[in-house]
Amino acid sequence: NDSKIVLLAGPVAAYAEGRFVGSGDVATIAGGERFIVGFGIDSSLRASRELVEKTDNVQGGNRVVDLTYRLGIDNFGEAAAKVRLLDRLPKARESEIKLTLMNSEGSAEPEKKTGILRWDVTVPAAGPGNKALALEYKFRLEHDKQLMISGMPVAAK
């Protein structure tokens, strides 16, 4: 807010190049305060998430599950796009399940409280069928072999 006027909290209608692109709410913004407003989705970008590999082993009294995910972004636009890519690691009580991020492309480190992984990337423009950007990460779950976890994914074949 470059003005000296306070922007009061309320609904926001966002326009880009004269077209309506989205709506939302904004908090009260003091004069000189920085804030972020979204401009809706970019229909030229498409994201995907795929389980690439799952290994399941028993070591002593523990079950060890390694999961590898691939995140992809297709950019069908004419120009490169700066994108913030987010994914969430599973949350569990540390007393029951140990979760370890084994490796991650780029500099994604999970946020301690939420387990959110974040990448700030530039996705080059590409034509249909060309994967403009792909990132992989792997994490390990270790828990008592008697503990059953529901909703565990099945690896793609």
Residue 84 is predicted with a pLDDT of: 86
In tens, the pLDDT along 40-88 reads 677 788 889 999 999 988 888 888 989 999 998 888 888 888 888 888 8
- Decide if pLDDT at 30 tops 90: yes
From residue 66, alpha-carbon distances to 34, 49, 92, 94, 137 in Å are 41, 16, 16, 17, 11
Q: Which residues contact 109 (CB under 8 A, 6 or more apart)?
A: 101, 117
Average pLDDT, whole number, for the chain?
82
Distance CA 135, CA 50 (A): 11
In this predicted structure, the answer to whether residue 128 has a pLDDT above a threshold of 60 is no
- Residue with tokens 């691939």, as numbered in its chain: 70
